[in-house]
Amino acid sequence: MTSTGSPRRASAKRDAWLLRLSVGAAVAVLTLGVVLEARGQARGGNPPKFEVVSIVPQPPGTRWHPPPLEAPGPVQPGGQYRDPQAVLYTLLQFAYPDTNIPGKTLLGVPLWGRRRIYAFQGVAPGGKTPTRDEMRLMMRAVLASRFGLKFHTEEKEMPVFVLTLAKGGTKNLKAANPASESNALSTLIGWRQFFIVAKAISIPELAGRALESWGPVVNHTGLNGYYDIDIPPVNDAPPPKGTHREDPEQVVKRSFHDEFGIDVTNGKATVPVMVIDSVHPPTPN
């Protein structure tokens, strides 16, 4: 069974893979239009910013551990982003969700950016409830000011996964309010099923987390809201002796169709690629 929750004796390589699949950071894939709109706001001169930012390095050798299955993610109500084991990669993943797949749509992340752990806290100005997109802009400001992030964006054609609505419509998607719920997502690719426990997650975020090991996602479902999902890992016995396990990518595709009424097909598209030009460890508090 392939799991996004690491066993205690997991190798460092497996921990890195799990970090990409874990969702403590409510991480996700959005449409290019949303990203361009956010960049336009930033160029307007008054992008929103966290009122309080604290970034505390954890002791050398500290290892990342998957959070409990139903633990709240770092994106919390009231404009708060709290992650006791953040790394540069997860902060980039949240701030720039359209370019978050290392080696494909995100290039140039230094090794320390996926290993060095920080206790991160960002709090929006009091009396305001920022949207998820506004919080992404706040994180971008932190990455620029504290990490010295500089990058450029290229457009490249590559294989993608295309999301469309299946016949019969959606199912098992309960509407959620991201302003009052902490964002969280834990996933498990089992022997024959894809299991998910999620809070205030978007469909592009969900598909992006599930499929990022294979490629980026293009959302053509028309579903733009946030959802709670509860499909826990039960009744997933291994295949009979002498038979082969189903390909994990096919498990995810079939589960999206059966559990959510969403078809996932292979295609090609031109997508944005972030190329990091320079970045350094965060300046002290």
Q: At 152, phi and psi to the nearest 5?
A: -130, 160
For the segment 94-113, the average pLDDT, to the nearest whole number, is 92
pLDDT beyond 70 at 251: yes
Highest mean pLDDT pick, 33-42, 74-83, 114-123, 129-138:
114-123
Read off the pLDDT of residues 135-166 as tens digits, 9 standing for 90 and up.
999 999 999 999 999 999 999 999 999 999 99
Instruction: Please report which confidence band the pLDDT of residue 261 belongs to, taking 50, 70 and 90 as the band edges.
Output: very high
Read off the pLDDT of residues 179-231 as tens digits, 9 standing for 90 and up.
777 777 777 666 667 777 888 889 988 898 888 888 999 999 999 889 988 88
What single letter denotes the amino acid at residue 137? L
Mean pLDDT is lowest, of 81-95, 120-134, 221-235, 254-268, for 221-235
Rounded distance between C-alpha atoms, residue 75 and residue 220, angstroms: 25
Entry pTM: 0.77
pLDDT beyond 90 at 50: yes
Instruction: Please report which confidence band the pLDDT of residue 7 belongs to, taking 50, 70 and 90 as the band edges.
Output: very low
Joined together, the tokens standing for residue 21 give 């699949």
- Tokens 């009744």 locate to 235
Mean pLDDT is lowest, of 36-45, 186-195, 233-242, for 36-45
Q: What percent of the chain has pLDDT over 90?
A: 45
β-pairing, 262-278 vs 106-107, is parallel
What's residue 16's pLDDT?
39
